[in-house]
Amino acid sequence: MSAAAAFFYLFAGIAIASAFMVITSRNPVASVLFLILTFVNAAGLFVLMGAEFLAMILVVVYVGAVAVLFLFVVMMLDVDFAQLRQGFQQYLPIGALIGAIFLIELLLVVGSWTIDPGMMQAPLGPLANVEGVTNTQMLGRVLYTDYVFYFQLAGLILLVAMIGAIVLTLRDRPGVKRQNISVQNARTQEMAVETRKVPSRQGVEV
Amino acid sequence: MTAIQAVLPSLSPVMPELILAIGVLGLILYGAFRGERSAESVNVGALILLILAFFVVVSQSGAKVTTLNGSFIVDNFSKVMKALILLGSAATILLSRDYFQRERIDRFEFPILIVLCTIGMMVMASANDLIALYLGLELQSLAAYVIAAFHRDNLKSTEAGLKYFVLGALSSGMLLYGSSLVYGFTGTVSFPGIVSALNDNAGIGIVLGIVFVAAGVAFKMSAVPFHMWTPDVYEGSPTPVTAFFASAPKMAAVAMTVRVFIGAFPDVTAIWQQIIVFVAIASMTLGSFAAIGQRSIKRLMAYSSIGNVGYALIGLAAASEEGIRGVVIYMIIYLAMTLGAFAVLLSLRRGGQMFETVDDLSGLSRTHPVLAFCLAAMMFSLAGIPPLAGFFGKFYVFAAAIKADLVGLAVIGVVTSVVGAFYYLRLVKVMYFDEPQAPYETMTPGLRIVLGLSSAVVVLFFLVPSPLVSAAGAAAKSLF
């Protein structure tokens, strides 16, 4: 068994095992952590296939952003997952039935699957043939040349999403005390400290 | 490692979009630094940008040019539709200023979102492949969802925004699914590539793809059976936003539909023609019958816009040069009628309160004769009564349908426009024969400009139809 095959079975085995743990684990925090483990192993599988860009994106986006967001939600909201799963037994028959139907359909589709040999040449033309260039470099090259229009438009869409979120939710609340760093730094001892004589048995008004 | 030559694509065809995009980034920065006080100047800046882009679009040559790796096409069709889109957006900014100030929601983001939405719409009109089409559509829709909910403390407005967002996301999904099927079965996303890959023979996969794409675009045009969101969103949104939805995005959606079906599937007309015929009949019928019971003018205009999309689609169903010319003329005239009607609706204000039901128009001819005359002209025109512009819009699409042997479709169109005439003319009856109410406040200059220009187009179109008709003819010619 070659090293690549060994790593494949390692990554694939851990990915399946941890994916199983995601849905069976009683503790939601452990579920999310197993989800992260699944992502990392899937990223390993991508590296084995030579798709290192996809692997890094998977780690950065799914582990770095999505899974951490899940973790925040799980920790901040008091969701009782045991209670959510209560209907499991009750809905098991109908769920199993739907699952079985999908499985049969899937088998039927895959069973009659033929790929037109002409089909494979058309979409895979220009990108696959460059020697000695990693796919990250290749993506970078086409992203900022051939597809610069899509890239910029996608940027504008994200800008609209940001403006929209601010317009619809940001409110100016009066009476909120905010930190003003320049004022803090400009404070001198004279402004902050006042020395007064305290007459005996009378005190002073502050 | 081979040296990759950096070749800058030709940017002159995208000049109007570039002007808007760079200008709007400047306006965002200005607005963010100046804060809420900048609303007035950002409004003016956005208006100047839109007018500048309009003149750049009009001054472009009509020759067919593609750029940006073939994903962006400029021809006479995109020129005319972009000019209409820009006019609709500019009119919205003129209509909105006073309304938002009085409702105390005049924030500088509104004109910025309108301009961003306009960029999306212009990309939709110029898209030459499915990805550019989808990105343009999404840019337009996302901005539209936000401005529908712009009056965020108003329950109806937020409901409108949420409803529009959920249903719009669903329709985007359908469009994407259809696009993925088309891509899967042709191996390309570019419209010319799809034409050559299809080569007259379309399998079941392509048919499914076309059906899903048609469902997606029908939603964006608010054509039956994907119209359910329209009355609620039109009613709930702030009135200037409703005016916007009924004008500019409608132009873009129709332009996009024509682009997809004529640009990408010209040789498989038989497949999509039946879809368009069905959608046209259903939209015209529902638009005219469902509007009869409406008391709110905004809901009435929503059903009217559904019906009008049906009439415009008759021209597309003909799938001929005359048909597309009819579509373009119809959209030009529809834009003028809609903006005029909303300018009148926005001027029904008394003591800081807006009035928007049909009964609030009663006796308008005696308190505001000019306003009543203009609205009557719009309504007669929407009903399709000669010599007003609306008649010619319908005339050209019906004539194209009859030439393409779609006589039944044309007959149904005529019958439903007779039914539609009932509720348009009821508004005229209320204005001229019912008891007058206390007069409304005087119109603002912005409303006057929009109402004056659109009334001029509607009333005087029959005297000098040739400039608009020849522009529409050139637009249609560039697609075939």
Task: Name residues 73-132 of chain B within 8 A of A (Cβ).
Answer: 107, 109, 112-113, 116, 119-120, 123, 131-132
Q: Which residue of B has its CA nearest to A141?
A: B4
ipTM value for the complex = 0.91
Asked if A122 lies within 8 A of B72 by C-beta distance, the reply is: no
- pLDDT band of residue B3 (cuts 50, 70, 90) is very low
Going from the C-alpha of B31 to that of each of B28, B38, B106, B116, the distances in angstroms are 5, 6, 12, 15
Of B139, B149, B152, the CB nearest to A160: B139
Cα(B285)–Cα(B291) distance, rounded to whole angstroms?
A: 10
Task: Name residues 289-348 of chain B within 8 A of A (Cβ).
Answer: none
Asked if B131 lies within 8 A of A150 by C-beta distance, the reply is: yes
Asked if B132 lies within 8 A of A153 by C-beta distance, the reply is: yes
Asked if B113 lies within 8 A of A167 by C-beta distance, the reply is: yes
- pLDDT band of residue A117 (cuts 50, 70, 90) is low
Cα(B238)–Cα(B110) distance, rounded to whole angstroms?
A: 12
User: Which of A124, A163, A166, A171 should be substituted to probe chain B, the one whose Cβ sees the most B Cβ atoms within 10 Å?
Assistant: A163
Please check the confidence at residue B413 and state whether its pLDDT lies above 90. yes
Residue B200 pLDDT: 66
Please check the confidence at residue B4 and state whether its pLDDT lies above 50. no
Asked if B150 is an interface residue toward chain A (Cβ–Cβ < 8 A), one would say yes
Asked if B123 lies within 8 A of A167 by C-beta distance, the reply is: no
pLDDT tens-digit map of B228-252: 999 999 999 999 999 999 999 999 9
Asked if A157 is an interface residue toward chain B (Cβ–Cβ < 8 A), one would say yes
> Using H for helix, E for strand and C for coil, what is the string for chain B?
CCCCCCCCCCCHHHHHHHHHHHHHHHHHHHHHHHHHHHHHHHHHHHHHHHHHHHHHHHHCCCCCEEECCCCEEECHHHHHHHHHHHHHHHHHHHHHHHHHHHCCCCCCHHHHHHHHHHHHHHHHHHECEHHHHHHHHHHHHHHHHHHHCCCCCCHHHHHHHHHHHHHHHHHHHHHHHHHHHHHHHHCCCEHHHHHHHHCCCCCHHHHHHHHHHHHHHHHHHCCCCCCCHHHHHHHHCCHHHHHHHHCHHHHHHHHHHHHHHHHHCHHHHHHHHHHHHHHHHHHHHHHHHHCCCCCEHHHHHHHHHHHHHHHHHHHHHHCCHHHHHHHHHHHHHHHHHHHHHHHHHHCCEECCEECCEHHHHCCHHHHCHHHHHHHHHHHHHHHCCCCCHHHHHHHHHHHHHHHCCCHHHHHHHHHHHHHHHHHHHHHHHHHHHCCCCCCCCCCCHHHHHHHHHHHHHHHHCCCCCHHHHHHHHHHHHCCC
Please check the confidence at residue B312 and state whether its pLDDT lies above 80. yes
Least Cα separation, residue B401 to chain A (angstroms): 37
- pLDDT band of residue B6 (cuts 50, 70, 90) is low
Name which residue leads in pLDDT, A138 or A164: A164
Asked if A162 is an interface residue toward chain B (Cβ–Cβ < 8 A), one would say no
Of A145, A146, A156, the CB nearest to B139: A156
Contacts A132 to B, Cβ<8 Å: 1
Q: Give the number of beta-carbon pairs within 8 Å between A and B.
A: 74
- pLDDT band of residue B134 (cuts 50, 70, 90) is very high
Contacts B152 to A, Cβ<8 Å: 167-168
Residue A172 pLDDT: 75
Average pLDDT over residues B61-81: 89
User: Which of B1, B118, B157 should be substituted to probe chain A, the one whose Cβ sees the most A Cβ atoms within 10 Å?
Assistant: B1
pTM: 0.86
Of B107, B139, B197, the CB nearest to A153: B139
Of B113, B138, B187, the CB nearest to A123: B187
Considering chain A, what percentage of its residues have pLDDT values greater than 90? 31
Contacts A152 to B, Cβ<8 Å: 21
Residue B5 pLDDT: 47
Contacts A122 to B, Cβ<8 Å: 187-188, 197
Q: Which residue of A has its CA nearest to B123?
A: A153
Asked if B132 lies within 8 A of A122 by C-beta distance, the reply is: no
Cα(B317)–Cα(A22) distance, rounded to whole angstroms?
A: 52
Q: Which of A156-160, A197-201, B71-75 has the lowest mean pLDDT?
A: A197-201
Going from the C-alpha of B247 to that of each of A80, A165, A198, B197, B332, the distances in angstroms are 49, 25, 76, 35, 10
Residue A41 pLDDT: 94
Residue B435 in tokens? 């008891």
Contacts A156 to B, Cβ<8 Å: 21, 116, 119-120, 139
Asked if B201 is an interface residue toward chain A (Cβ–Cβ < 8 A), one would say no
Of B7, B71, B149, the CB nearest to A149: B71
Of A123, A147, A164, the CB nearest to B146: A164
Residue A131 pLDDT: 66
Contacts B109 to A, Cβ<8 Å: 163, 166-167
- pLDDT band of residue B480 (cuts 50, 70, 90) is confident
Please check the confidence at residue A124 and state whether its pLDDT lies above 80. no
Average pLDDT over residues A46-63: 88
Asked if A126 is an interface residue toward chain B (Cβ–Cβ < 8 A), one would say no
pLDDT tens-digit map of B441-453: 888 888 899 999 9
Residue B94 pLDDT: 92
Tell me the average pLDDT of chain B: 90
Asked if A204 is an interface residue toward chain B (Cβ–Cβ < 8 A), one would say no
Residues paired with residue B354 on neighbouring β-strands, in sequence order: B349
Average pLDDT over residues A50-70: 87
Asked if B69 lies within 8 A of A154 by C-beta distance, the reply is: no
Contacts A166 to B, Cβ<8 Å: 109
